[in-house]
Amino acid sequence: MISGGTIGKRKIPSSRLYLYLLVTATFLNLLFPSFLLSSQITIDSKDQFAFARHLMEKKDYVRAILEFERLLYFFPGDEKVPEARYLIGVCHFRGGDYESARETAFGLYRDYPDHSIGGKALLLIGESYYAQGAFEEAERYFRMVTERFKDPDLRNRALYRLGWSRMKENRWDEASSLFDRVEPESPLYPSARELASKSIQGEELPVKNPVAAGLMAGLLPGLGHAYCGRYKDGTVAFLLNGLFVWAAYQAFEKDQEILGGILSFLEAGWYSGNIYSAVNCAHKHNRAVRDKFRNRLKDRFDLSLFTSGDKNLGIALTFDF
């Protein structure tokens, strides 16, 4: 504890001594800041990119996008900029923001239409539509890759994705042909060979004919449901329609024309609904069978697997305070 001090032979109260030391320290700090305080922050493009990729691999896509954008801001001329922009799009895609992913990819393709990164951007656009079930729109961009780029890696990945798109549309023969076109040099080749043979089996799946289901339901309510394996629904449809037919018949037998007309009108609705439901059951059955078949197949496509990796030598940006 400081109780006081002297300057020369004059004694100074402790409160004034505190003030004197504070003023002196402030003056020295302003006059010689580097002697009292020195800190340095270094931003390295290589480490910045690696950190953003690390966050992306941890599935922290929001922070990864921020770190990639930090790289774009501080190093606009760095060779990693195109790939960083692409990975921003991939992060948006993996986060479920397909519209932002497409917006990022369209900008990238516009700036690099003849570069391989432009082809990756087209693949990303196609994949965003594919993820949303818009297969025709997705195929448009996958075909653009095969038509505009000679890079075998891009072409093979686009062909692989086109094959999957055709399988999603139940166009099994076309899917097999597309998988067959994937070249042996591609890392997707083993998967493509397997899918080329298995996709043909899609033509032999035990599907139900919706027209036949509707005709059966028209002949006998519930029969169409039974055809689709929905026996409980078929029983309910048979009993319900039978009950209304019997009630309407009894009403007419007792000269209750108004009640008979009402019951007949209601029965017509139940009868039509029975036919529609049977057709719908056939479609649901077929969709379930095809989805189960496709889900057993392995999809090896990954947007981020063919980035260039960490080959940048790195640039450093330093701030001194």
Mean pLDDT of the 182-186 span: 94
- Does 131 score more than 90 pLDDT? yes
- Does 16 score more than 90 pLDDT? no
Mean pLDDT of the 76-98 span: 95
Q: How confident is the model at residue 181 (pLDDT cuts 50, 70, 90)?
A: very high
The string of pLDDT tens digits covering residues 194-247 is 999 999 999 899 999 999 999 998 889 989 999 998 899 888 888 888 887 888
* Confidence at residue 256, expressed as pLDDT on a 0 to 100 scale: 84
* Confidence at residue 29, expressed as pLDDT on a 0 to 100 scale: 55
Percent of the chain with pLDDT over 70: 81
Mean pLDDT of the 33-42 span: 53
* Confidence at residue 267, expressed as pLDDT on a 0 to 100 scale: 79
Radius of gyration of the chain (CA): 36
Give the residue, 198 or 306, on which the prediction is more confident. 198
* Confidence at residue 36, expressed as pLDDT on a 0 to 100 scale: 43
Question: For residue 19, what are the contacts with CB-CB under 8 A and spacing of at least 6?
Answer: none
Average pLDDT of every residue of the chain: 84
Give the β-pairing of 316-320 and 4-7: unpaired
* Confidence at residue 261, expressed as pLDDT on a 0 to 100 scale: 84
* Confidence at residue 35, expressed as pLDDT on a 0 to 100 scale: 46
User: Position 185: which residue type?
Assistant: E
The string of pLDDT tens digits covering residues 259-305 is 878 878 887 888 888 899 999 999 999 999 999 999 999 998 877 55
* Confidence at residue 317, expressed as pLDDT on a 0 to 100 scale: 38
The reported pTM is 0.75
